Each structure stands twice: as C-alpha cells, then as structure tokens.
Amino acid sequence: MTERLISDIGGLPAGEVPREEVPQLYWEKHMIAMFNVLWDKGVFNLDEFRRRVEETSPEDYKRSTFYGRRLDGMTDLLVEKGIIDRAELTARSDEILRAGTRDHVR
C-alpha cells in the first residue's frame, strides 16, 4: 500500500487559494534566522527537517501554518537529537505565556 505523505497534496481538491500578501511577524523572522543558523552549522539537514514535519499528525499539520510547522519541526528535531529537552522547552514556553509579555529575552 502506497503511503501518501501529508505534504504530498498534488492533484487533491484544494478550494480557493488565498492570494493576499501576509506580513511576516517578528517571531517568524527570528525563527527562520535560527533555523538557517542550525541548518548552516550542520545541526540538522533539510531532509531531516522535512521528514520530521511529515511525521506530524494530519490534524496538527492542517491546523498549523507555514511558520508553525517550521517551528514545530525544528524543535521536534532538536528534541529528537537530544540537543534540547522537551520538558525544559515546555516549562520555558509556559513561563513566557504566563508572563504575557514579549520582552522575554534573557
């Protein structure tokens, strides 16, 4: 049985494709910069990243966004490689959310 990857949507009904330009948010630029550094330093490769994103459940994949999938794929990969700790990441994210501030750079 041939597996269809969640990203392999060529030829499937898509409905209307939105054409408006969406401004890039600050965190998105920040995250892409981080992604590019990690990629350039060989911490992970692009194929690993794509594989990790494709392992997302179809529900989560569809609910997410271009940048959301990239952030989750990147962090999942760093957890998978033992570079960051999932519990530590969750604790830090919760801390920032509780503080409700964007001024969270230590």
| Window of 4-12, 26-34, 65-73, 94-102 that interacts with other proteins by CB under 8 A | 4-12
Does the footprint of other proteins cover residue 83 (CB under 8 A)?
no
Whose tokens are 């600050």? That residue is: 26
Does the footprint of other proteins cover residue 50 (CB under 8 A)?
yes
Exactly one of 6, 43, 54, 61 binds other proteins (CB under 8 A); that residue is: 54
CB 5 within 8 A of CB 53: no
- By CB under 8 A, the residues from 7 to 46 that bind other proteins are 8, 10-11, 45
Task: Rank residues 11 and 58 by Cβ distance to other proteins and give the closer one.
Answer: 11
Q: Phi-psi region for residue 42, left (φ > 0), alpha (ψ -120 to 50) or beta?
A: left
At residue 70's C-alpha, the angle toward residues 13 and 56, to 5°, is 60
The residues near 40 (Cβ < 8 Å, ≥ 6 apart) are none
Tell me which residues touch other proteins (CB under 8 A): 1-5, 8, 10-11, 45, 47-48, 50-51, 54, 81
